[in-house]
Amino acid sequence: MTTIFEAVATALDSVTGVPYGMDTYMSTEELPDQYMVYNLIDGVAGQHADDAETLRAYRVQINIYDRAGLADLPDVDAAMLAAGFTKGPERPLPYNAGTGHYGLAKDYFYLA
């Protein structure tokens, strides 16, 4: 079975031209104008049978950062839905005056 981290990375690989990282985006250069960061919020048992866990429900968060604002963001929804995730809540993140990035947090659910 693929791990939840591999599933997210595979989905985000299809978002062409937008770099991403897990938990933080690390670079030896200045941050790009647009980038993404993903992390696991939680993973809870979803089903048990014969004294064993048979399904696990995961919640992952993808934060999209863009210096130009939030009007023209990559289509992360299409990539995540194609990979078997379902959409959850989304919310804006505070503007980062230090880097000049606006941000949007998007949650997705995955049952495996």
pLDDT digits over 21-77, tens only?
A: 999 999 888 999 999 999 999 999 988 899 998 899 999 999 999 999 999 999 999
- The answer to whether 62 and 5 have CB atoms below 8 angstroms apart is no
Select from 71, 83, 1, 68 the least CA-distant residue to 38: 83
- The answer to whether 80 and 30 have CB atoms below 8 angstroms apart is no
**Buried b / exposed e along 88-99 (16+ C-beta atoms within 10 A):** eeeeeeeeeeee
Q: Which domains does the chain have, with CATH numbers?
A: 4-111 (3.30.2000.10)
Select from 97, 29, 90 the least CA-distant residue to 64: 90
Kindly indicate the confidence band of residue 1, based on its pLDDT and cuts at 50, 70 and 90. low
